[in-house]
Structure 1
Amino acid sequence: MIQKSPFKFFVLTLVLIALDQAVKLAVHFYMAPGFAGQIHLVGDWLKLHYVLNPGMAFGMQLGHEYGKLLLSVFRLFAMVGIGYYLVNLAHRGAPNGLLWAMAMILAGAVGNVIDSTFYGVFLDNAPYGSPTPWFHGQVIDMIFVDVWEGFIPDWVPLWGGQYYSTPIFNVADSCIFIGVCMILFFQRRFFGEQHVEDTMLPTSGPDPIEASVLPTAELLDEETESKTEEERTTSASTDDDKPEAEQSATPESVLPEERKEVD
Structure 2
Amino acid sequence: MSLKKSAIIIIIILLIDQISKTYIKTHFQLGDDVEVSSWFRILFIENDGMAWGTKLSDIISFIDDKSAKLILTLFRIIAVSGIGYWLFNVIKKQKTKTLIFAISLIFAGALGNIIDSVFYGILFGDSYAQVATFLPESGGYAEIFHGKVVDMLHFPIYNGILPEWLPFFGGTYFSFFDPVFNVADVAISTGIGILIIFNKRAFNEPPKKIETPYLESSNNPT
Settle same-fold status: TM greater than 0.5.
Answer: yes
After superposing on structure 2, the runs of 4+ consecutive aligned residues of structure 1 that deviate more than 3 Å are: 124-127, 147-150
Question: Which secondary structure state, in structure 2, belongs to the residue aligned with residue 146 of structure 1?
Answer: coil
Aligned partners of 2:147, 2:9: CA distance in 1, in Å? Answer: 25
- Corresponding residue for residue 166 of structure 2: none
TM (normalized to structure 2)?
0.73
TM (normalized to structure 1)?
0.62
Identical residues among aligned pairs (%): 32
Q: Please tell me whether the aligned partners of residues 126 and 138 of structure 1 are also in contact (alpha carbons under 8 angstroms).
A: no
Asked if 1:186 is matched to 2:198, the reply is yes
The 1:13–1:187 alpha-carbon spacing in structure 2 relative to 1, beyond 3 Å, is same
Question: Which secondary structure state, in structure 2, belongs to the residue aligned with residue 142 of structure 1?
Answer: strand
The 1:86–1:122 alpha-carbon spacing in structure 2 relative to 1, beyond 3 Å, is same
Root mean square deviation of aligned Cα: 2.8
Identify the match of residue 20 of structure 2 among 10, 14, 23. Answer: 23
Aligned partners of 1:164, 1:145: CA distance in 2, in Å? Answer: 8
Question: Which secondary structure state, in structure 2, belongs to the residue aligned with residue 134 of structure 1?
Answer: coil
Question: Which secondary structure state, in structure 1, belongs to the residue aligned with residue 204 of structure 2?
Answer: helix
Aligned partners of 1:70, 1:148: CA distance in 2, in Å? Answer: 36
Amino acid at match of 1:46: F
Asked if 1:143 is matched to 2:153, the reply is yes
Q: Please tell me whether the aligned partners of residues 52 and 139 of structure 1 are also in contact (alpha carbons under 8 angstroms).
A: yes
Distance apart, 1:125 and its partner CA? 4.6
Amino acid at match of 2:182: N
Distance apart, 1:105 and its partner CA? 0.6
Question: Which secondary structure state, in structure 1, belongs to the residue aligned with residue 70 of structure 2?
Answer: helix
Answer with 1 or 2: which has the greater Rg: 1
Q: Please tell me whether the aligned partners of residues 38 and 48 of structure 1 are also in contact (alpha carbons under 8 angstroms).
A: yes
The superposition leaves residues 84-126 of structure 1 with CA deviations (integer Å, 9 ceiling, x where unpaired) of 1111101111111211111111111111110000111111459
Q: Please tell me whether the aligned partners of residues 119 and 144 of structure 2 are also in contact (alpha carbons under 8 angstroms).
A: yes
The 1:191–1:138 alpha-carbon spacing in structure 2 relative to 1, beyond 3 Å, is same
- Structure 1 residues 124-139: aligned runs within 5 Å: 124-125=125-126, 133-139=143-149
The 1:105–1:168 alpha-carbon spacing in structure 2 relative to 1, beyond 3 Å, is same
Distance apart, 1:5 and its partner CA? 2.8
Question: Which secondary structure state, in structure 1, belongs to the residue aligned with residue 43 of structure 2?
Answer: strand
Q: Please tell me whether the aligned partners of residues 59 and 167 of structure 1 are also in contact (alpha carbons under 8 angstroms).
A: no
Aligned partners of 2:176, 2:91: CA distance in 1, in Å? Answer: 42
Question: Which secondary structure state, in structure 2, belongs to the residue aligned with residue 189 of structure 1?
Answer: helix
- Structure 1 residues 66-81: aligned runs within 5 Å: 66-81=67-82
Question: Which secondary structure state, in structure 1, belongs to the residue aligned with residue 56 of structure 2?
Answer: coil
- Corresponding residue for residue 260 of structure 1: none
The superposition leaves residues 187-240 of structure 1 with CA deviations (integer Å, 9 ceiling, x where unpaired) of 11111234x65xx77xxxxxx656x98xxxxxxxxxxxxxxxxxxxxxxxxxxx
The one of the two structures with greater contact order (alpha-carbon pairs below 8 A, sep at least 6) is: 2
Amino acid at match of 1:15: I
Bigger proportion of residues as helix = 1
The superposition leaves residues 131-158 of structure 1 with CA deviations (integer Å, 9 ceiling, x where unpaired) of x6111101110001113569xxxxxxxx
- Structure 1 residues 1-263: aligned runs within 5 Å: 5-34=2-31, 37-41=32-36, 43-63=37-57, 64-65=63-64, 66-125=67-126, 133-148=143-158, 166-194=178-206, 197=208, 209=212
The alignment of Structure 1 onto Structure 2 pairs a total of residues equal to 182
